[in-house]
Amino acid sequence: MIKDNQEDEMKIREAAEFIKNGGTVVFPTETVYGLGADALNEKAVEKIFKAKGRPQDNPLIIHVSSKNIEAYAKEIPKVANELIEKFWPGPLTIILKKTDIIPDITSANLNSIGIRMPDNETARKLIELSNTTIAAPSANISGRPSPTDFERCIEDLDGKVDYILGGGQSAIGVESTIVDCTLDPPIVLRPGGITLEMLREVDSRIQIDKAIMEKPKDNLKPKAPGMKYKHYAPNAKVTIILGERKKTIEKMQEVVHYNIEKGKKVCILTVEENVKEYTEGISIVLGSAKNLSTVARSLFEALRKCDDLGADLILAEGYEEKGIGIAIMNRLNKAAGFDIIEV
Ligand code: TXA
Ligand code: MG
């Protein structure tokens, strides 16, 4: 296995050879790192599921280096073309009816396929040089927080893939927004870097799938198969405290104190505006409450850091479900198994 952390065209060329020959390559994108293989080669795609330990009923999304997707998708509605025009390359995956060229294993037997064009030079170059479309889930072991840097990919997948291509820290930090354009109006199956407000500039009728922001109920199943699994989960228990700032801080202090008294190791996920309020526990500053993109960027890394520190409990401040805050709360909710204390 080769590991390389230099953004060097020769290395990308070398990695592309592995893709062409049915191998697996971990590569950077602007959202999170991906674990890629030739989406049109069944044997290659099988290796992705195996390396991640991913359930076979969870479809993969494919990555392209141009906006021309006619080989992979059919009956493309006007709204999809408008979204592509406005947000590609970028953190937006569009679900469309698939063409027969996409093997069933890639789409987990669905007749649709998720497609995205990453806003990352290394990723696009790799796709272009591989001369195919690359299927890639996030490059973590199934269920763990997605990796946003080279070292975390090595931690999860060393020895399990053919090549790990580095490229710095992922700029967005949470996975792409997924919009199902086989439905009219389209529905957001997973919130991400492209916010609902941004999508509504293209079609004001776009909504978020109700099943994903709430605790899973038997009668309400998310439309993105992957969203039903336990996800983004560190080993430590995660609890979110949600409410107005002052009350949140007071409750956090109380819960931290109580658990430390009981001999627990507690990590606090907070923002630079609040960090000085916590005198007990280990505080991790995610970013600034004034710019939630900074929080999104460091969230997964922080969850992994808490595990490195041997935390028993992770206490996270909640965020307003607006803009990128929706994606942050979605990932936190899932990491916490919807264990939320409202104050
Ligand atoms: O930002 C991203 O999207 C990253 C980078 C690597 O591109 N990829 C990623 O892939 O997050 P993954 O496999 O970890 O998440 C894809 C999600 C899963 O929840 C899956 O169930 C859903 O997309 N999905 C894929 N194809 C689908 C389809 N045809 N219909 C509904 N949901 C689909
Ligand atoms: Mg994933």
For the segment 19-63, what is each residue's pLDDT rounded down to a tens digit?
999 999 999 999 999 999 999 999 999 999 999 999 999 999 999
For ligand 2, the distance from its centroid to the CA atom of residue 282, given in whole angstroms, is 27
d(C-alpha 66, C-alpha 118), whole Å? 10
Cis-peptide into 89, omega within 30 deg: yes
The number of the ligand nearest the C-alpha atom of 26 reads 1
Three-class SS state of 182: coil
Amino acid at 210: K
Distance of CA 55 to CAs 46, 51, 164, 168, 225, Å? 11, 11, 22, 29, 10
Closest alpha carbon to 84 in 56, 114, 112: 114
Q: How far apart are CA 57 and CA 111, in angstroms?
A: 13
Identify the pLDDT of residue 5: 65
| Residue 70 reports pLDDT greater than 80 | yes
pLDDT of residue 6: 64
| Rounded distance between C-alpha atoms, residue 90 and residue 116, angstroms | 8
Ligand nearest to the CA of 145: 2
Residue 27: both structure tokens together: 């590569």
Q: Is the pTM of this model over 0.75?
A: yes
In this structure, the residues whose C-beta lies within 6 A of any atom of ligand 1 are: 29, 31-32, 34, 58-61, 91, 93, 95, 107, 110, 112-114, 116, 136-138, 175-176, 178, 189, 223-227
Query: In residues, how long is the chain?
Result: 343
Ligand 2: centre distance to CA 137 (Å): 5
- Centre of ligand 1 from the C-alpha of residue 172, in Å: 16
Q: Which pLDDT score is estimated for 230? A: 62
- % the chain with pLDDT above 90: 88
Q: Which atom of ligand 1 is nearest to the CA of 112?
A: 29
Burial class (CB in 10 A: 0-12, 13-18, 19+), 267: buried
Nearest CA to ligand 1 atom 22: 224
Residue in 27, 56, 61 to alter for ligand 1 test, most ligand atoms within 8 A of Cβ: 61
- Whether the CB-CB separation of 232 and 335 falls below 8 Å is answered with yes
Residue in the structure block whose two tokens are 């679900």: 95
